[in-house]
Structure 1
């Protein structure tokens, strides 16, 4: 497996060169970039193919792989919206992700499929998002880039059986799951999700969570929460997953350089937990 870190783990004003440099010095193999609004650092909705190629070359100069692309923009333009213009904006965002991923040699983009709220019922979220993803799957197939549906705190796809069915119904080899181990801990067990989703999993995020907190502030550094990492790694090995595992945790209030090193060491423990036994 490749050890990756998301750009979000660093403060917003961190240059891409420093993101790549800090990550490489900490021992990471890959960095997951994000798509931002115009004016953001790195990839944005205005980034040209030429600019994207330059960013890829910068990553290569640090021997960093770019294997996936995430974004937070779909929270503002969900594919599940009952408003057609909002869904169109969301579709445009995902298309930009796919285009940039194709140019940069990334094989997967992370997509939050929709949001259930007072204005969008669960049924509407299911139907609207699937309709949009069917349209986007055609574009993904043209480019050969996978869409990874993330399990996230959006009040949607709350069980692994439902997520598996949701993806199966889309009937596309280019649509799978971007699985986040920490995100399911409030209402499930990540190892169970992994075994049920199996080959649908395209990429994996890792973060940790304390159930006793029970809200968004319960997300903590790796190894400080309740994820059973030995079981998670056992499940990943069982399904034959051998791709990128990317840390996605909040940045430190100071010293992003130390965050990278701490997280890298924590991931080494996670990767090696099947090879070691607890000291007596």
Structure 2
């Protein structure tokens, strides 16, 4: 399904636009300084290592140039705190990360573990809706041995994800698969085919630009995944320096920008790197501008 059709389907399924979508639309009217189509910068909650209230952290990130937040489930601030901070700052929670997907895997050989993993995912979908977000980042499993092979991860996770599709549709919240170092779908064609087998507008790619550099050029993955990419994680990686500061690795950022333009990408780009205090968060924001700006 092409991006425009995907977004139209998602919007039609929601009674009202999410807070994230409303604020993103407002930002786009005043973001001529960003690449066109616009890309909106966000930061993950666990990266903000500063004192103060939830509102203080939202205000700090807004001052540093971020447009939104990504929280976690379970954990993070209360819904009331986050909603109040969004209202006060115009900084939406665009989505959540399922924090239990590694330990309680949808690919586990134990059916009871898979059931728990699906229940955790369903709660994350509800939490995302409550925060005003429209996505949950999901790692679908891990290749761990003869009882959890690539084929097992593929089949078991698809079975569990399909069980959650009615809830995702009712809530208007998407499940976005992140490409990680889990032994699963280590080529863009595999991830493309995995998403196409699920064949739902409520499941897409949360494409991590840096994670794939170990396996091949990030821009090649972008072109292959194309309209399946719904959101971006931003990090860098180099063969000689591993995960490093954004812009200091082997990712070819001009080629990445060109590939994103070719597929017409516009949406959230969330930093996923080591966080810190105000100085560190400011540096991350500036680096994101540098690599994502046309």
Deviates more, 1:24-33 or 1:114-123: 114-123
In structure 1, which of residues 92, 98, 105 is the aligned counterpart of residue 125 of structure 2? 98
Distance across 1 between alignment mates of 2:210 and 2:192: 18
TM-score (norm 2): 0.82
Unpaired runs of at least 5, structure 1 = 43-50, 275-280
Number of residue pairs the alignment of both structures matches: 255
Pair 1:250-2:274 in alignment: yes
Distance 1:230 1:14, change over 3 A: farther
In structure 2, which of residues 235, 243, 255 is the aligned counterpart of residue 231 of structure 1? 255
Distance across 1 between alignment mates of 2:151 and 2:53: 41
In structure 2, which of residues 176, 179, 187 is the aligned counterpart of residue 148 of structure 1? 176
In structure 1, which of residues 49, 57, 66 is the aligned counterpart of residue 84 of structure 2? 57
Whether contact under 8 Å (2:271, 2:284) holds in the other structure is: yes
* 1:59-99 alpha-carbon deviations (Å, 9 max, x no partner): 23122121111133111101000101111111111111110
RMSD: 1.7
The answer for the alignment partner of 2:116 in structure 1 is: 89
Distance across 2 between alignment mates of 1:76 and 1:107: 24
Q: How far did residue 101 of structure 1 move?
A: 1.4
Residues 138-177 of structure 1: matches in 2 within 5 Å?
138-177=166-205
Q: How far did residue 11 of structure 1 move?
A: 3.5
Distance across 1 between alignment mates of 2:237 and 2:52: 25
Distance across 2 between alignment mates of 1:154 and 1:16: 33
TM-score (norm 1): 0.86
SS of the equivalent of 1:184 reads: helix
Distance 1:8 1:241, change over 3 A: same
Distance across 2 between alignment mates of 1:13 and 1:146: 32
